[in-house]
A and B are shown apart, each in its own frame.
Chain A
Amino acid sequence: MLEQNIRVKAKDVSFYYGQKRALKDLNINFFTNKVTAFIGPSGCGKSTFIRLLNKMNDLIPNTRAEGKILLDDENILDKKVDAVKIRRKIGMVFQKPNPFPKSIFQNVAYGLELCSMSKKEMERVVEESLQKAALWNEVKDRLRDNALGLSGGQQQRLCIARCLAVEPEVILFDEPCASLDPISTSKIEELILELKKQYTIVIVTHNMQQAARVSDWTAFMYIGELIEFSPTKEIFVVPKEKKTQEYLSGRFG
């Protein structure tokens, strides 16, 4: 893989909750316009790691990170780096759909209101984002309705639209389909494949088939360590590590 295609580069990343070490010396690269999937048993540190990428762990008191995560030659883990700037470049979609108890329009416009933007421009971006999130046709006649009235799958696509509206370059998905039905799930998967043309995508999933369907690269983590990082086509067919093999064949997890 060419060096210039690397969007985010993690070097020797460790992370501690108080005294407890949750991540051990992770080294991984995320490539531009590729989907990278994280798999691994519950509690192995997948969420902890991707939350480091947009400084969400800074919000948890008593935590500490070591190593470097480089985005545009800037170390995200550096406390001095502005969290707001990073979060605008690296957006996040959470496990449970979490729209604000506001209207559909206001939800998508939220990130735009933070930086002053004209009303016309805002309306344009909201429509564009909803269209990219494949939700526009379902909600265009009820933009003023409360977002909590949408179905779970629609709410999750709204959260994706909300994230796209601030024009990030990287999007993190933490088990985005965990609370959704199969139809909503396949819609989100299609969406991810569409979005990767424009964005760099990282997704955590417990669903092996999902990882195989949407990702180009797969990272397997086990108790805070990155065991294997390979192209998805290879890892599911010929895993290099014994642990990966055992996990994929369902022997633990």
Chain B
Amino acid sequence: MFSFKERAIKFIFSCLAFSCLLFLLAIVVILFWQGAPLFSYMDFSQFFFGKSWYPTSQPPEFGIFPLISGSLIVTLGAMVVCVPLGIGSALYIYELSGPNSKKILKPIVEILGSIPSIVFGFFALTIAAPAIQQFFNIPTGLCALTASIILGIMAIPTITSISEDALSFVPNSFREASYALGANKFQTLFKVTIPAAASGISTSVILGMSRIVGETMTVLMVSGGAAVITSSFFSPVRPMTATIAAEMGEAAFGSLHYQALFAIALVLFMTTLVFNVIAERISQKYALKLGANR
């Protein structure tokens, strides 16, 4: 009787756990199923390296290179913002600040992480974009720069909280050993603590990147929406996520355009998957490395 109950509970939980797997599988299958037919119309290199994205012209063109370049430039810009700020805050909060400022700063970072992206987008649209337009004297504030800054800020909490975890995994005995040998606070930080937490910190950066690449709402609102290849932070861009969000409504079901959007989704999925797998690998190694000493 008891063991039946136990088994039933175990069964229910395993169903719940496996349903995640099921959702994941369903998504992958649908992405392939809807996106793959596009490649009977055009080949991979035309899709990836095609220089124009004109889904509604006759004949339509589905080269996503401008979209990839848009994603790339925005991601790079955002990394410049979030990596130093995210890691810097983690180091300050966990290693340098006193218990009092820690009590204030930690919740603030957490709140920043819980703000919905539409709010960031709204803020960017009404405050950041006009300010940037004026400051740099450019035709529009809706450009790669604005998107980068906002996305960078959005990714800070991800990087900070995971980096903080990484720092908390560094055994205190390492720090004590360093101090006992006559190292000061900064030598201890740079020669012992950061190297010991390095893999966790890189994991945080990769996950932050994954968040930036996949972010849609903000990007849709502030990136400017021009599907042209660009190398300037001051021009409007159209990253992959924004393209899907903007055009999914108008693309006729089953049309080539529709398929092309699915193919883009597939590319995004693969990219973030790769990022996450890399992050997972690194953090596994990291657990092994410190495991012996904890």
Contacts and interface: CB of A to CB of B under 8 A. Distances in A.
Contacts of B289: 101, 148
B11 interface: no
Contacts of B195: 101-102
Nearest to B292: A148
A110 B181 contact: yes
Contacts of A68: none
A56 B182 contact: no
Contacts of B179: 56, 59, 83, 87
B99 A61 contact: yes
A100 to B, nearest CB: 6
A84 B182 contact: yes
Contacts of A88: 181-182
Given A98-B171, A100-B192, A148-B293, A114 B176 contact: no
A113 interface: yes
Size bracket of the A interface: 20 to 34
Q: Which of A91, A96, A114 has the most CB of B within 10 A?
A: A114
Given A61-B99, A98-B293, A148-B293, A110 B173 contact: no
A99 B179 CA distance: 13
A218 B292 CA distance: 35
B98 A61 contact: yes
B200 to A, nearest CB: 13
Contacts of B183: 84, 110-111, 114
B184 interface: yes
Contacts of A113: 191
A113 B173 CA distance: 20
Nearest to B173: A98
Interface string B169-209: 00101101111111110010001100110000000000000
Contacts of A114: 181-183, 187
Q: Which of B98, B99, B182 has the most CB of A within 10 A?
A: B182
Given A113-B191, A148-B293, A98 B176 contact: yes
B290 A94 contact: no
A87 B176 contact: no
Nearest to B184: A84
Contacts of B181: 87-88, 91, 110-111, 114, 162-163, 166
Q: Which of B179, B180, B289 has the most CB of A within 10 A?
A: B180
A98 B174 CA distance: 6
The 6 closest A-B pairs by CB, nearest first: A98-B173, A111-B181, A88-B182, A92-B180, A87-B182, A98-B177
14 contacts: A56-B176, A83-B179, A94-B173, A96-B173, A100-B196, A101-B195, A101-B196, A110-B178, A110-B181, A110-B183, A110-B191, A113-B191, A148-B293, A162-B181
